[in-house]
Structure 1
Amino acid sequence: MNLFKLNFFIFLSCSMILFFVGIYFMYFNMIYFMEWEMFMLNSNSIVYVLLFDWMSLLFMSFVFYISSMVIYYSNDYMSEDKTKNRFLYLVILFVISMMMMIISPNLISILVGWDGLGLVSYCLVIYYQNEKSFNAGMLTVLSNRIGDVCLLIGIAWMLNYGSWNFFIYSDYFLSMYESKFIMGMVLIAGMTKSAQIPFSAWLPAAMAAPTPVSALVHSSTLVTAGVYLLIRFHDLMKNSIFFDILLLIGCLTMFMSGMGANYEFDLKKIIALSTLSQLGLMMGILGLGFMKLSFFHLLTHALFKALLFMCAGMIIHCFGNVQDIRYMGKLMNYMPITLISLNISNLALCGMPFLAGFYSKDLILEMMSMSETNFLIYFLFYISTGLTVMYSVRLVYYTMMKNYSYFSFVLLNENSKFMLFGMAGMVFMAIFGGSMMMWIMFSWESMIMLTYVMKLMVIIVIIMGAWLGYELSLMSIKNFLIINNQKELLNFLGTMWYMPIIFSYGISKKFFEESGKLNKLFDQGWSELLGVQGLYNYLNNNSNILQMIQNNDLKLIFLFFIMFMMFLYLIF
Structure 2
Amino acid sequence: MNWRLNICFISFCFLFFVSLVNVVLGIYFCLNNICYFIEWDVVTINSMNIVMTFLFDWMSLLFMGFVLFISSMVIFYSHNYMEGDPYISRFILLVLMFVLSMMLLIISPNMISILLGWDGLGLISYLLVIYYQNFKSYGAGMLTVLSNRLGDVAFLLSIAWMLNYGSWNYYFYLNFMFDSIEAQIISGLMIFAAMTKSAQIPFSAWLPAAMAAPTPVSALVHSSTLVTAGVYLMIRFNSLIVGTDLSKYLLLIGGMTMFMSGLGANFEFDLKKIIALSTLSQLGLMMSILSMGYYSLAFFHLLTHALFKALLFMCAGVIIHNMGDCQDIRFMGGLVHFLPLSSSCFMVSNLALCGMPFLAGFYSKDLILEMCLISNLNFVSFLFFFVSTGLTACYTARLIYYSMAGGLNMSSCYGISDEGWWMLKGMMGMLFMAVLGGSMLSWTIFPIPSMICLPMILKMLALIVSVVGAWMGYQFSMFHFGDNMFNMKIIFSSFFMGSMWFMPYISTRGLYFHPINLGGLFLSGFDQGWCEYMGAQGMHNYFKNMSVYNQSYQNNFLKIYLIFFMIWITLILFLY
TM-score by length of 1: 0.88
1:448 aligns with 2:452: yes
1:8/1:69 contact within 8 Å kept: yes
Tell me which residue corresponds to 2:203: 199
Tell me which residue corresponds to 1:505: 509
Give the percent of matched residue pairs that are identical in Structure 1 and Structure 2: 56
Deviations 1:23-69 (A, max 9, x none): 11112111101101223456342211000000000000000100000
Matches for 1:90-489 after TM superposition, within 5 Å? 90-444=94-448, 446-476=450-480, 485-489=489-493
Distance in 1 (alpha carbons) for counterparts of 2:286 and 2:428: 26
Secondary structure at the aligned position of 1:129 is classed as coil
Distance in 2 (alpha carbons) for counterparts of 1:19 and 1:146: 34
2:19/2:69 contact within 8 Å kept: yes
- The Cα shift of 1:265 comes to 0.3
Any gaps of 5 or more consecutive residues in structure 2?
A: 527-576
Cα separation, partners in 2 of 1:173 and 1:478, compared to 1, 3 Å: farther
2:208/2:276 contact within 8 Å kept: yes
- The Cα shift of 1:241 comes to 1.5
Q: What RMSD, in angstroms, separates the aligned Cα atoms of the two structures?
A: 1.9
- The Cα shift of 1:518 comes to 10
Tell me which residue corresponds to 1:568: none
Match of 1:71 among 75, 81, 93: 75
Distance in 2 (alpha carbons) for counterparts of 1:411 and 1:47: 57
Segments of 4+ moved more than 4 angstroms: 477-484, 511-522
- The Cα shift of 1:480 comes to 6.2
Cα separation, partners in 2 of 1:508 and 1:292, compared to 1, 3 Å: closer
Deviations 1:53-105 (A, max 9, x none): 00000000000100000000001110110111000000000000000000001
Distance in 1 (alpha carbons) for counterparts of 2:442 and 2:102: 24
1:491 aligns with 2:495: yes
Structure 1 range deviating more: 434-443 or 472-481: 472-481
- The Cα shift of 1:311 comes to 0.3
TM-score by length of 2: 0.88
Deviations 1:249-305 (A, max 9, x none): 111100000000000000000000000000001111111110000000000000000
Secondary structure at the aligned position of 1:222 is classed as coil
- The Cα shift of 1:333 comes to 1.1
Cα separation, partners in 2 of 1:480 and 1:271, compared to 1, 3 Å: farther
Secondary structure at the aligned position of 2:41 is classed as strand
Distance in 2 (alpha carbons) for counterparts of 1:154 and 1:473: 47
Tell me which residue corresponds to 1:7: 11
Secondary structure at the aligned position of 1:300 is classed as helix
What one-letter code is carried by the residue in structure 1 that aligns with 2:213? A
Distance in 1 (alpha carbons) for counterparts of 2:325 and 2:212: 12
Any gaps of 5 or more consecutive residues in structure 1?
A: 523-572
2:174/2:237 contact within 8 Å kept: no
1:11/1:68 contact within 8 Å kept: yes
1:481/1:487 contact within 8 Å kept: no
Secondary structure at the aligned position of 1:38 is classed as strand
Secondary structure at the aligned position of 2:26 is classed as helix
Cα separation, partners in 2 of 1:409 and 1:29, compared to 1, 3 Å: same
Secondary structure at the aligned position of 1:219 is classed as coil
- The Cα shift of 1:507 comes to 3.2
Match of 2:36 among 32, 38, 49: 32
Deviations 1:124-152 (A, max 9, x none): 00000100000000000010011111110
Cα separation, partners in 2 of 1:275 and 1:30, compared to 1, 3 Å: same
Match of 2:89 among 76, 85, 89: 85
Deviations 1:101-123 (A, max 9, x none): 00001111100000000000000
Cα separation, partners in 2 of 1:34 and 1:322, compared to 1, 3 Å: same
Structure 1 range deviating more: 283-292 or 169-178: 169-178
Secondary structure at the aligned position of 1:34 is classed as strand
Cα separation, partners in 2 of 1:362 and 1:515, compared to 1, 3 Å: closer
Distance in 2 (alpha carbons) for counterparts of 1:164 and 1:310: 39
Distance in 2 (alpha carbons) for counterparts of 1:131 and 1:149: 27
Cα separation, partners in 2 of 1:431 and 1:151, compared to 1, 3 Å: same
- The Cα shift of 1:513 comes to 6.4
2:22/2:62 contact within 8 Å kept: yes
1:174/1:237 contact within 8 Å kept: no
Cα separation, partners in 2 of 1:45 and 1:387, compared to 1, 3 Å: same
Match of 2:20 among 16, 21, 26: 16
- The count of aligned residue pairs is 522
